[in-house]
């Protein structure tokens, strides 16, 4: 295909992608006095960080990232304080409600919450990393998590309690991005977690994006929206080294000594033709092996809140009809649904439902009206079960479809279990994805951050990491 384009002035670094990692790197480079150009395909910055504002009264919701995972040792906490962002620490106990709209007994809720957290974050990682026998790569995380001896079921008295515990644990596919049956047990817990409780960003993540944009522009950087990159070329890439890079869009051609690619893993998987020459086989293999998961959201906004105020809810399935929680035409249905009360957390009269992994994919096959009908029926069943009480319809519904989004194609990375006949994925694949190719094209994004993958702070750290590398190389080049 012949592309008509106009040559643009050279920059020191071209950053492909205006998500958190690309913006963090661009800010770092610009503040050191180097010319940086950020090229973003969307009409907005932020990527999978997207704060939607309903109006000018402060009603908003994050359609993508909405949590700071682990507030101790997390670099985003310092930034949040600097920007006067509001972080709402969430308690591990959520209000669990059965299919009849009755809250579980407090003691049972506490017990299930403790068991789930103990099994998910402590016992199962220890088994994977410190047991006498190294787990096989084809063992899924679900196997040790749901076996009868798992701490998930410790102290539970009867099958109903065990059913609820299992349903709550399955809801954690929103954390992994993939069904627990697809995640590798062998590598569970190998990474370095941030400590402390999670925090909900009640003021919206958009403040960080706005701040990064302002800093880049203030220090002489350029930001180009609505420009999809068609090709990233390493010029003269003979062997392992090239002379410079050329980035081509439908509107222009940009030339620079270095290019930093920060597009999501899902896009890398779908567009091997993006690079000239093609990426080395070992890089392509790492991209193929690493998993890219999904978490979608359904947000029902009302004119005013009608439900009992509580930060978080868990809707538990009916053991006699596990499919009762399922989506209109499919989905698993035997797991809990996690719901945030945005009225309690942000002052917006809205309820936010999380739909992860396989169910998240099924959700994307429905229209908004189908999802609205399903979600409205669900929240009324669980939060206002009394007959004869009229509940108003939602004034609007937002349904995210991150897998269908051409500039995301999913939500965040995970390490999948090994599949028959295929080489197993390992954390080294993330290390591979963090390395430059031909000494000219660099990479950042949560999928390149082995310690903090699948998180906003991981994306931020990867941008800082690559920004520092490039500043060092530019300084060396200028001295030469």
The binding site for FAD consists of: 21, 40-41, 229
For residue 404, give both structure tokens.
Answer: 């269908």
CA atoms within 13 A on the CB side of 338: 20
DSSP conformation class of 122: I
CA atoms within 13 A on the CB side of 63: 15
Three-state secondary structure along 191-227? CCCCECCCEEECCCCHHHHHHHHHHHHHCCCEEECCC
Binding-site sequence positions for substrate: 354
Residue 88, CA distances (Å) to 79, 184, 351, 384, 454 in order: 15, 31, 16, 26, 21
Helix, strand or coil for residue 290?
coil
Binding-site sequence positions: 21, 40-41, 229, 354
Specify whether the CB–CB gap between 425 and 224 falls below 8 A: no
Closest CA to 376 of 348, 362, 354, 397: 397
Closest CA to 141 of 132, 150, 154, 133: 150
Specify whether the CB–CB gap between 217 and 223 falls below 8 A: yes
Using the structure block, give the residue that is written with the tokens 């809720």: 109
Closest CA to 442 of 9, 10, 26, 7: 26
**Using CA atoms, how far apart are residues 216 and 192, in angstroms rounded to an integer?**
30
Q: Is 346 exposed, middle or buried (0-12, 13-18, 19+ CB in 10 A)?
A: buried
For residue 258, give both structure tokens.
Answer: 């270095």
**Using CA atoms, how far apart are residues 172 and 358, in angstroms rounded to an integer?**
12
Specify whether the CB–CB gap between 475 and 38 falls below 8 A: no
Specify whether the CB–CB gap between 171 and 152 falls below 8 A: no
For residue 231, give both structure tokens.
Answer: 């090709």
**Using CA atoms, how far apart are residues 471 and 54, in angstroms rounded to an integer?**
39
Closest CA to 116 of 69, 74, 155: 155
Stated length of the chain: 480
Residue 127, CA distances (Å) to 119, 146, 149, 194, 460 in order: 10, 14, 12, 20, 30
């Amino acid at each position: 295909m012949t592309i008509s384009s106009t040559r643009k002035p050279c920059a020191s670094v071209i950053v492909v992608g205006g998500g958190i990692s690309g913006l963090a790197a661009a800010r770092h480079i610009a503040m050191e006095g180097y010319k940086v150009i950020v090229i973003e395909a969307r009409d907005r910055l932020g990527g999978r960080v997207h704060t939607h504002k309903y109006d000018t009264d402060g009603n908003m919701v994050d359609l993508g990232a909405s949590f700071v995972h682990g507030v101790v040792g997390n670099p985003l906490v310092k930034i949040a304080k600097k920007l006067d962002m509001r972080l709402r620490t969430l308690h591990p106990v959520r209000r669990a409600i059965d299919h009849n709209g009755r809250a579980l007994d407090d003691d049972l809720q506490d017990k299930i919450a403790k068991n789930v957290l103990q099994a998910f974050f402590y016992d199962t990682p220890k088994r994977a990393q410190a047991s006498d026998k190294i787990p096989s790569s084809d063992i899924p995380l679900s196997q040790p998590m749901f076996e009868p001896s798992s701490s998930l079921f410790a102290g539970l008295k009867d099958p109903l309690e065990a059913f609820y515990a299992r349903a709550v644990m399955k809801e954690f596919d929103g954390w992994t991005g993939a069904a627990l049956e697809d995640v590798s047990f062998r590598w569970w817990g190998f990474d370095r977690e941030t400590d402390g409780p999670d925090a909900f960003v009640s003021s919206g993540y958009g403040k960080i994006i706005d701040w990064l944009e302002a800093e880049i522009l203030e220090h002489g950087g350029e930001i180009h929206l609505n420009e999809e990159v068609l090709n990233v070329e390493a010029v003269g890439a003979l062997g392992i080294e090239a002379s410079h890079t050329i980035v081509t869009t439908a509107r222009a051609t940009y030339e620079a000594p270095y290019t930093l690619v920060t597009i999501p893993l899902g896009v890398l998987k779908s567009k091997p033709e993006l690079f000239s020459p093609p990426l080395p086989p070992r890089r392509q293999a790492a991209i193929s092996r690493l998993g890219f998961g999904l978490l979608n959201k359904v947000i029902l906004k009302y004119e005013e809140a009608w439900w009992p105020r509580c930060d978080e809810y868990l809707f538990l399935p009916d053991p006699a009809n596990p499919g009762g929680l399922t989506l209109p035409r499919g989905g698993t249905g035997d797991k809990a649904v996690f719901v945030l009360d945005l009225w309690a957390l942000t002052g917006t009269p809205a309820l936010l439902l999380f739909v992860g992994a396989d169910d998240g994919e099924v959700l994307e096959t429905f229209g908004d009206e189908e999802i609205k009908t399903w979600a409205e029926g669900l929240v009324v069943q669980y939060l206002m079960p009394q007959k004869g009480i009229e509940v108003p319809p939602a004034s609007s519904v937002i349904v995210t479809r991150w897998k269908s989004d051409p500039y995301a194609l999913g939500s965040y990375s995970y390490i999948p279990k090994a599949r028959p006949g295929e080489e197993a994925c390992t954390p080294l694949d993330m290390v591979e994805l963090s390395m430059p190719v031909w000494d000219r094209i660099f990479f950042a994004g949560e999928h390149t951050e082995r310690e903090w993958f699948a998180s906003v702070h991981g994306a931020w750290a990867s941008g800082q990491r690559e920004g520092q590398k490039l500043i060092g190389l530019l300084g060396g080049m200028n001295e030469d």
